């Protein structure tokens, strides 16, 4: 099994490839052990100046966005405890992703911010306001990665005995999104805020609606707390590739993250996603698909290979198995290193389990040691090592052969891996017409799709708008109990 993806014969394509940087508010995100490398600055994650520098760098490289992953639990599947994860800083300690965004927005003009939060642990009402706040403060540059969680430790620490079953988590997320769409799209009309100084009316109450949500999991009768932000609904990102996950993505996502290790798996996944988008009544290209990948590059092939070897000397295969055990929901410490994972039950990331039960890039079987080597730098996606030209060839080949739209780039060291990509790969792709020469104007949604700031009419969320087919707004209720209503004589809106 080879780790470094070599380029085959190239058919140059001129499709513009999209790029996000993939990061997390922690140390060495998906490259365990690399925090020890002298060039790695990830231990500065507690410092706003560090994040501001990273945002400026990514905007210089015309990245579409910085995507910030998150978990609310520890990786305690490996060895059935959290010792190895804590020792190796496997995404622990980990800080909140949302709080980073305002500072980075202040020092950039175009970079998008994809923040991750789970649907299982926080009520949608306060979350809706936090996201609207960020969308205001960034002038419409926020995306939200909707995750349903995979770490049982997160559920346990939020008062549950275990996380709900895999598909039930998506059912719950369906209602979570319904509440959010109602708040973001259906509560405040665009012209509700009038700031009429003469009449002393800041907001017209007739244009602010109670959403009247009463569901299986949530009761949210009232209005959204924020006035409409540039995008209203943030750009919806999603990352599940199981059958239920893809169905959820097809109904909601505008950007979909995959972590396919091979082109064969990615091709199959992309085909399935595009088919499901059509079945959901959407254009098959209405969601951009980004595959997780890691690039190690330098001025020459030799220098890139030397850099790779040097990075590997800091890597930590056991740390990789800590991650893989968490993602797969399978304790890999219980296997021999030369054993395949075979048939196992999982309540975590089903697509991760399936990927490592499929053929490896050489058509062979993945043994546990292969998985550790594969995931050591950058996690589950492919690792591409080479000069700028070679890496550009490979990326274009993946796009050409799999129909993927772009890549979520994980780092070996940060910000070095991103800086190297910007210095060596971006000029080659730009020269070939495969990289955006300048940012499109406006919000993140407009930059990605060029169709304005708001959700397109055919998107599920748009159907909750005032006057839309799923609009649920109710007449403004009196907050006074009916027995004393006549005494207080609270007016209703009369609509
Ligand atoms: C590239 C990628 C990034 C992900 N990032 C996160 C994350 O930051 N936090 C999280 O809780 N889950 C994350 N996930 C997990 C997914 O959101 C989803 O819960 C998981 O893939 C299970 O879905 P599936 O079984 O449908 O594949 C990620 C998955 C992928 C493939």
Report pLDDT for 240. 76
- What percentage of the chain exceeds 90 in pLDDT? 82
Determine the distance separating the centroid of ligand 1 and the alpha carbon of 294, expressed in angstroms.
Answer: 17
The band of 488, judged by pLDDT with boundaries at 50, 70 and 90, is very low
Ligand 1 site, residue 259, Cβ cutoff 6 A: yes
**From the CB of residue 398, how many other CB atoms can be counted at a distance below 10 Å?**
24
- In the predicted structure, residue 10 carries a pLDDT above the cut 50: no
Ligand 1 site, residue 153, Cβ cutoff 6 A: no
pTM assigned to the model: 0.92
- What percentage of the chain exceeds 70 in pLDDT? 94
Q: What is the mean pLDDT of residues 2-11?
A: 48
Determine the distance separating the centroid of ligand 1 and the alpha carbon of 8, expressed in angstroms.
Answer: 30
Report pLDDT for 218. 98
Ligand 1 site, residue 292, Cβ cutoff 6 A: yes
What pLDDT, in 10s, does the model give residues 156-211? 998 888 888 989 999 999 999 999 999 999 999 999 999 999 999 999 999 999 99
What pLDDT, in 10s, does the model give residues 318-361? 999 999 999 999 999 999 999 998 888 888 888 888 888 888 88
Report pLDDT for 341. 86
Distances (CA, A) of 335 to 16, 123, 153, 219, 338: 43, 39, 22, 46, 8
Report pLDDT for 213. 97
Residue 69's nearest CA partner among 126, 32, 29, 20 is 29
The band of 487, judged by pLDDT with boundaries at 50, 70 and 90, is very low
When the pLDDT of each residue in the chain is averaged and rounded to a whole number, the result is 92
What pLDDT, in 10s, does the model give residues 426-452? 999 999 999 999 999 999 999 999 999
Contacts of 327 (CB under 8 A, 6+ apart): 150, 348, 349, 352, 380
Determine the distance separating the centroid of ligand 1 and the alpha carbon of 22, expressed in angstroms.
Answer: 13
Contacts of 197 (CB under 8 A, 6+ apart): none
Ligand 1 site, residue 242, Cβ cutoff 6 A: yes
Report pLDDT for 485. 40
What pLDDT, in 10s, does the model give residues 43-89? 999 999 999 999 999 999 999 999 999 999 999 999 999 999 999 99
Ligand 1 site, residue 405, Cβ cutoff 6 A: no
CA atoms of 120 and 100, how far apart (whole Å)? 22
Q: Which atom of ligand 1 is nearest to the CA of 118?
A: 11
Residue 315's nearest CA partner among 294, 340, 291, 330 is 294
- In the predicted structure, residue 486 carries a pLDDT above the cut 70: no
- In the predicted structure, residue 118 carries a pLDDT above the cut 90: yes
Q: What is the mean pLDDT of residues 205-220?
A: 97
What pLDDT, in 10s, does the model give residues 220-266? 999 999 999 999 999 999 997 888 999 999 999 999 999 999 999 99
Whether the CB-CB separation of 231 and 140 falls below 8 Å is answered with yes
Query: Ligand 1: which of 239, 259, 346 to mutate, judged by most atoms within 8 Å of the beta carbon?
Result: 239
Whether the CB-CB separation of 104 and 65 falls below 8 Å is answered with no
SS3 at position 44: helix
**From the CB of residue 490, how many other CB atoms can be counted at a distance below 10 Å?**
13
Q: Which atom of ligand 1 is nearest to the CA of 69?
A: 8
Which alpha helices (H) appear in 165-292, and where do they start and end? 166-186, 243-252, 263-279
Query: Ligand 1: which of 66, 147, 352, 380 to mutate, judged by most atoms within 8 Å of the beta carbon?
Result: 147
């Amino acid at each position: 099994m080879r780790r470094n993806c070599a380029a085959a014969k190239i058919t140059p394509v001129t499709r513009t490839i999209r790029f996000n940087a993939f990061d997390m508010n922690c140390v060495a995100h998906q490259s365990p052990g690399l925090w020890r490398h002298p060039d790695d600055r990830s231990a500065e994650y507690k410092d706003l100046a560090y994040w501001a520098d990273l945002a400026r760098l990514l905007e210089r490289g015309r990245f579409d966005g910085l995507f910030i992953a998150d978990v609310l639990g520890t990786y305690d599947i490996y060895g059935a405890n959290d010792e190895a994860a804590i020792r190796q800083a496997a995404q622990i300690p980990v800080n909140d992703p949302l709080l980073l965004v305002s500072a980075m927005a202040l020092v950039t003009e175009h970079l998008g911010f994809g923040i991750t939060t789970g649907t299982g642990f926080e009520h949608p009402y306060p979350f809706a306001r936090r996201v609207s706040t960020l969308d205001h403060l960034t002038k419409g540059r926020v995306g939200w990665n909707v995750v349903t969680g995979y770490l049982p430790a997160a559920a346990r620490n939020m008062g549950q005995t275990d996380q709900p079953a895999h598909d039930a988590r998506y059912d719950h997320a369906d209602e979570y999104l319904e509440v959010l769409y109602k708040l973001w799209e259906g509560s405040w009309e665009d012209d509700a805020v009038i700031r009429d100084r003469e009449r002393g009316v800041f907001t017209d109450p007739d244009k602010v609606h109670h959403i009247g949500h009463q569901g299986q999991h949530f009761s949210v009768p009232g209005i959204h707390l924020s006035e409409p932000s540039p995008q209203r609904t943030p750009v919806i990102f999603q990352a599940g590739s199981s059958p239920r996950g893809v169905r959820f993505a097809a109904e909601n996502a505008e950007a979909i993250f995959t972590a396919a290790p091979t082109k064969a798996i990615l091709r199959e996944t992309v085909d399935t996603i595009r088919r499901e988008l059509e079945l959901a009544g959407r254009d098959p290209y209405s969601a951009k698909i980004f595959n997780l990948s890691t690039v190690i590059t330098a001025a020459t092939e030799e220098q890139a290979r030397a850099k790779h070897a040097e990075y590997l000397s800091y890597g930590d295969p056991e740390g990789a198995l800590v991650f893989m055990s968490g993602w797969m929901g399978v304790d890999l410490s219980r296997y021999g290193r030369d054993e395949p994972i075979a048939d196992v039950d999982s309540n975590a990331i089903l697509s991760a389990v399936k990927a490592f039960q499929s053929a490896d890039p050489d058509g062979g079987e993945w043994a546990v040691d292969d998985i550790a080597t594969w995931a050591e730098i950058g996690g589950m996606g492919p690792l591409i090592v080479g000069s700028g030209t070679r890496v550009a060839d490979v990326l274009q080949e993946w796009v050409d052969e799999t129909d993927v739209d772009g890549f979520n780039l994980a780092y070996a060291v940060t910000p070095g891996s991103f800086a190297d990509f910007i210095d060596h790969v971006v000029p080659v792709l730009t020269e070939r017409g495969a990289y955006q020469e300048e940012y499109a104007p406006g919000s993140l949604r407009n930059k990605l799709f060029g169709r304005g700031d708001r959700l397109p009419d055919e998107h599920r969320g748009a159907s909750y708008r005032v006057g839309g087919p799923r609009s649920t707004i109710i007449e403004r209720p009196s907050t006074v109990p009916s027995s004393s209503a006549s005494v207080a004589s609270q007016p209703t809106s009369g609509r």
